[in-house]
Structure 1
């Protein structure tokens, strides 16, 4: 049997539900998984959404167990909650809340071979729809690839609209990167070790089109906690379309730069997509993208208050030594930067200079357009 990858792959979810009444109608969509779920969420999410969500299920005849996810030590939490899931003898797992709780639920469902429903309460990540978990504490540690996607992804846009607009912008930054990354890695394998199917490019094109067309409108709507058609379209692009493109097409330099930036303690408070957004500019510089393309992306990222310079990241005086450390981690063995079609020509030094070039491009754009600086 040859190790050469020749198959084209598309990795998809089973059921995606989005709308302003998704919470209220959850029993209808979750009953196919069983009637005895374990809901995993943090205490804040339980207060703002979880208590009412569980009550909705119980009114529909579900026997619901609840386990509080405590942030800070995800490995310890996974072990603790996996034991709870076994003791409860549940029929399926529900992850409710933000990315860490959803990732934890994903791992527990896989551990016990149980169905999984992911229910995000912010638009800050496409993690709820994917089969990938991410270990985010401190410097980047690793990705964990699950054997399957969630069986049900339920997105209530009335809940999402109540979360800070910064979360939506962060996921826009992540989503805008993914098609760009997939396009630069077409000759290499996705995370599932398959070549990119043609449908993935079409999905990625639609995702990009939606974000460029409606991203700014959705961001402003979110600030007003308004669920508009533009907001609905961008939530779908962020959560579903970007995930289908990412998981079937893979990621590249932008996400490696995100991982590299994790070596700088001052950036640990930034959201995932905020660092990926800067990585988008770095990847474009690394690819020697035409000035018009670079300008297009920088203009868009700034329109939703995403960082394109060191100053906007919050590290205006970052040292070359720190940037060398960023490039070293971004180019470490197994990083996604090596999946790019130009992977054989990439070096740590080239990445270091691309990082500095991205900052220079962002500063020049802001100077030329007289755009006010919006720090995170």
Structure 2
């Protein structure tokens, strides 16, 4: 069995493949991460098969010219390592990624062998997220779709121009064509966990508007399940070691806007940008409301579902509660909304209830009108 030090190297390398917004480490253990699957949190082993790489991405710990120690698993050993953790109740799923090894084709073949052992030898039927590598053969992608719960490939940047600044050895056209191929396969036979991709935010010089325009396309046209935004963190012994880290607040605003696109019916053109980026000092939904005074106030007793979603403080759950309550009769007071769990502190300036409006909180938003 591999030594703990080598295993730790492959665990550490996998942390840059994100599965949600940045957060502090949990208490599950140094080898365990938490991901959301089917609406519940799942403990997963996130690990690389191989940290050897033929690419020289400027931000990456495992770039070809990096002095990092190199190591790798055989498919048999990695499958057994996962299975031992599963039998001990330490993990419930697997997120398997890898650097390219000596070739993407050879490495993806080993990744598929690993998952095949877990599925067919150990009869594991749970969650497996498999990262597809650049320049992967089409037949390997087909096999990956048979074995995995979720598939992903990282676009890294919203265009070839931006990708060239951070990963000069990669082809954006190749990455995008592979993502479209994943989409075609998933639409023919839907994957339980869908298809995802990831952007490195910051060092490529991309704007939030560019990221969100592409994300909107990926959701609408390719049917992606999620787009992840990985804020850049400078690493020692890389060409970008002195480049400033990307603000976690920028990441937060991107995820807020992304959520509004996926679940609230927003489009990129609905957002207000400053020089192509979302303002950091206010959430994008509240800013949309402030910038569209003609839309308000909204009468709670007359608004449809998507109109309710435009109101600050009202989300999908509370909008459905309002519609359900209206089936039983008209809402006549702000107290009834409060009892439904509505965030009145945010909603009051933008709504009427039975024709009445509460104005006492409106002045809180006046300074924001200059944005």
Q: Under a length normalisation based on structure 1, what TM-score does the superposition of the two structures give? A: 0.32
Relative to its length, the structure with more helix (as a share) is: 1
Q: Under a length normalisation based on structure 2, what TM-score does the superposition of the two structures give? A: 0.32
Q: Which has the larger radius of gyration?
A: 2
